[in-house]
């Protein structure tokens, strides 16, 4: 196969994939803005967490002692942020969607529809879906607009709880544990490098060195 | 190539069917459903009677894109995260102070770049996803999906928001390192300096 033909085939493939990607985006997110917020939000957190960890790692002005706290804090922040964002936001979004689809959360128009079709006894049952009932089509636009609104509200509430309340609490606990461990390791390493002094016992010297180390650091836990 | 792909699909479907037929999977699924039903039963039915409330919920679904969502997250983060860090008794005072300053700096830098990049990308996608027509340059249809006939419908607007957000994520691959990180560092140093601590 000549180079031109190969290039043409590659171009065709790229064009076809790009076209499929656009159609996929339209089909998946066009009708579901809540899903889009959750998925792109998760991707966004992954990327920004990478940058934040990098910012601490490459900042020479942060002391090694503080880095022992800040780097685990950033990594914990990233892991908890990403996991809690996805798990909590997605669960809350799905629960909100279920509330609307089972008729638990409804507008006056939806309630009138349910009453008119004698469906009130099915409201709140997991298998019941308002959108799958007969004569639903006149209500479709109103229902979709309401459902999308609830989706966005629940996913926003989920992301606020996960990123702004749950994450800082969890990451601080995790990071402080990591910091304690790292400082203990650092102290142990320093002890191993101490040379045996003359005229003083090794136990006394270790005690002195330990006191000196703990006073020189700003990090006392 | 096509046969290999089809073969892979068949294998995946078989594995999936085998997993979904296991008693463990069925048991877990049954319990999840029971939990979901329990949660639904706990909540009372609610009807929004006021047209203004229903309109507001509809508007939120239509108008809140990822940019506004990022702004809401940033503002609420400023109201909670620094206080949580300030109350962290597991670290000494100096580290706690740096941690609070860094959290504030991170939120400001992240929200600022996150909001404007998302907003800008969504605007750009809106400009470059026109319906093909005589007089419309080809580059303005670069993001138009195949078969789209009108830009004036809800699904298409949400598509533009989604595509804009994806484009923003690509831009943020670079801006996180070029703008976010230096801005966070600068703001952290400024806040630490103003709070009486050493420059980081």
Are B57 and A146 within 8 A, CB to CB? yes
Q: Which residue has the higher pLDDT, A73 or B103?
A: B103
User: Which chain A residue lies closest to B158 (C-alpha atoms)?
Assistant: A30
- Asked whether residue B90 is domain-assigned, the answer is yes
Q: How far is A106 from chain B (nearest CA, A)?
A: 5
- Asked whether residue B53 is domain-assigned, the answer is no
- Asked whether residue B17 is domain-assigned, the answer is no
User: Mean pLDDT, to the nearest integer, of B73-96?
Assistant: 87
Instruction: With a cut of 90, say whether residue A50 has pLDDT above it.
Output: no
- Asked whether residue B136 is domain-assigned, the answer is yes
User: Mean pLDDT, to the nearest integer, of A88-107?
Assistant: 91
Query: What's the CA gap between B102 and A125, in Å, rounded?
Result: 47
The model's confidence at residue A195, banded by pLDDT at 50, 70 and 90, is low
Q: Which of B41, B43, B50, B57 to mutate to test the interface with A (most CBs of A within 10 A)?
A: B57
Q: What does the pLDDT read at residue A193?
A: 59
Q: What does the pLDDT read at residue A216?
A: 33
Looking at this predicted complex, what is its ipTM?
0.77
The structural domain count of chain B equals 1
- Asked whether residue B54 is domain-assigned, the answer is no
Are A32 and B176 within 8 A, CB to CB? no
For residue A105, what are the β-bridge partners?
Answer: B46
Instruction: Take residue B71 and report the two structure tokens written for it.
Output: 């702004």
- Residues B122-172: tens digit of each pLDDT: 999 999 998 888 888 888 888 998 888 787 788 888 899 999 999 998 898
- Asked whether residue B132 is domain-assigned, the answer is yes
- Asked whether residue B14 is domain-assigned, the answer is no
Structural domain for B171, as ranges: 66-194
- In Å, the largest CA–CA distance within chain B is 69
Instruction: With a cut of 90, say whether residue B121 has pLDDT above it.
Output: yes
The model's confidence at residue A217, banded by pLDDT at 50, 70 and 90, is very low
* Residues on chain A touching B200 (C-beta within 8 angstroms): 59, 61-62, 66
* Residues on chain B touching A108 (C-beta within 8 angstroms): 47-49, 54
Instruction: With a cut of 90, say whether residue B4 has pLDDT above it.
Output: no
| Burial profile A2-40: b = 16 or more Cβ within 10 angstroms, e = fewer | eeeeeeeeeeeeeeeeeeeebbebbeebbebbbbbbbbb
Query: What's the CA gap between B157 and B163, in Å, rounded?
Result: 10
| pTM score | 0.74
* Angle, alpha carbons A10-A12-A16 (nearest 5°): 120
Q: How many CB atoms lie within 10 A of CB B176?
A: 26
Are A55 and B181 within 8 A, CB to CB? yes
The model's confidence at residue A104, banded by pLDDT at 50, 70 and 90, is very high
* Residues on chain B touching A105 (C-beta within 8 angstroms): 45-46, 48
- Asked whether residue B3 is domain-assigned, the answer is no
User: Mean pLDDT, to the nearest integer, of A39-64?
Assistant: 80
């Amino acid at each position: 196969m000549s180079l031109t033909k190969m290039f043409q085939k590659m171009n065709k493939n790229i064009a076809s994939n790009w076209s499929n990607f656009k159609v996929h985006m339209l089909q998946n997110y066009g009708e579901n803005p809540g899903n889009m917020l959750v998925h792109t939000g998760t991707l966004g957190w992954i990327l920004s967490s990478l940058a934040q960890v990098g910012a601490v790692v490459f900042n020479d002005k942060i002391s090694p002692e503080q880095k022992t706290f800040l780097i685990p804090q950033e990594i914990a922040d990233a892991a908890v942020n990403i996991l809690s964002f996805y798990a909590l936001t997605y669960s809350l979004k799905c629960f909100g969607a279920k509330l609307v689809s089972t008729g638990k959360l409804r507008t006056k128009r939806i309630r009138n529809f349910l009453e008119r079709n004698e469906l009130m006894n099915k409201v709140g049952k997991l298998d019941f879906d308002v959108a799958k009932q007969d004569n639903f089509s006149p209500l479709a636009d109103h229902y979709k607009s309401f459902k999308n609104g609830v989706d966005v509200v629940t996913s926003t509430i989920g992301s606020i709880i996960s990123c702004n309340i749950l994450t800082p609490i969890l990451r601080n606990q995790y990071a402080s544990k990591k910091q304690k461990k790292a400082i203990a390791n650092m102290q142990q390493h320093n002890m191993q490098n101490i040379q045996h002094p003359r005229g003083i016992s090794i136990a006394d010297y270790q005690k002195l060195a330990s006191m000196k180390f703990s006073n020189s650091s700003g990090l006392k836990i | 190539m096509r046969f290999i792909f089809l073969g892979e699909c068949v294998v995946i479907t078989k594995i999936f069917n085998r997993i979904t037929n296991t008693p463990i999977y069925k048991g877990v699924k049954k319990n999840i459903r029971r939990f979901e039903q329990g949660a639904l039963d706990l909540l009372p039915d609610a009807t929004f009677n006021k047209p203004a409330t229903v309109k507001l919920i509809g508007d939120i679904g239509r108008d809140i894109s990822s940019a506004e969502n990022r702004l809401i997250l940033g503002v609420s983060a400023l109201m909670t995260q620094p206080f949580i860090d300030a109350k962290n008794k597991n670290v000494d005072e100096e580290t706690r102070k740096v941690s609070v300053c860094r959290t504030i700096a991170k939120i400001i830098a992240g929200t600022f770049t996150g909001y404007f990049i998302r907003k800008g990308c969504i605007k750009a996608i809106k400009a470059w996803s026109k319906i093909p027509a005589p007089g419309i340059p080809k580059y303005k249809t670069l993001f138009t999906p195949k078969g789209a006939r009108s830009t004036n419908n809800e699904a298409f607007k949400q598509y533009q928001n989604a595509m804009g957000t994806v484009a923003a994520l690509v831009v943020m691959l670079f801006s996180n390192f070029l703008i976010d990180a230096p801005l966070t560092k600068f703001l952290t140093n400024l806040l630490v300096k103003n709070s009486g601590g050493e420059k980081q």
